[in-house]
Homo-oligomer: A and B are copies of this chain.
Amino acid sequence: MKARIIVTLKTGVLDPQGKAIESALSSFGISGIEGVRQGKVFDVEIADADPASAEATLKSACEKLLANTVVENYEIEIV
């Protein structure tokens, strides 16, 4: 079973990397970009055939390793 985990910074947490991308885009002549925030995506292949238990496993993976829940949110999508 395949799943996608998206880890993004919480609202209010500064994202200097996103700001750098924003100004790089404007210096490349791409206008109209009002904000960029960068996050991470993990495409996971999981052996579990049951979506609920796969989601529980991935939740624990996020809490333990993939996301820093102090400053980041995560979303799990079973695909």
Contact = CB atoms under 8 A, between A and B. Distances in A.
B60 A42 contact: no
For this chain, the copies found in one complex come to 2
A25 interface: yes
B40 A45 contact: no
Interface residues of A, number: 33
Contacts of A45: 33-36
A3 to B, nearest CB: 10
Q: Which 10 A-B pairs have the closest CB atoms?
A: A35-B45, A32-B47, A39-B41, A34-B45, A37-B43, A41-B41, A28-B64, A30-B61, A32-B48, A36-B44
7 contacts: A8-B43, A21-B42, A21-B66, A24-B65, A33-B46, A34-B45, A38-B41
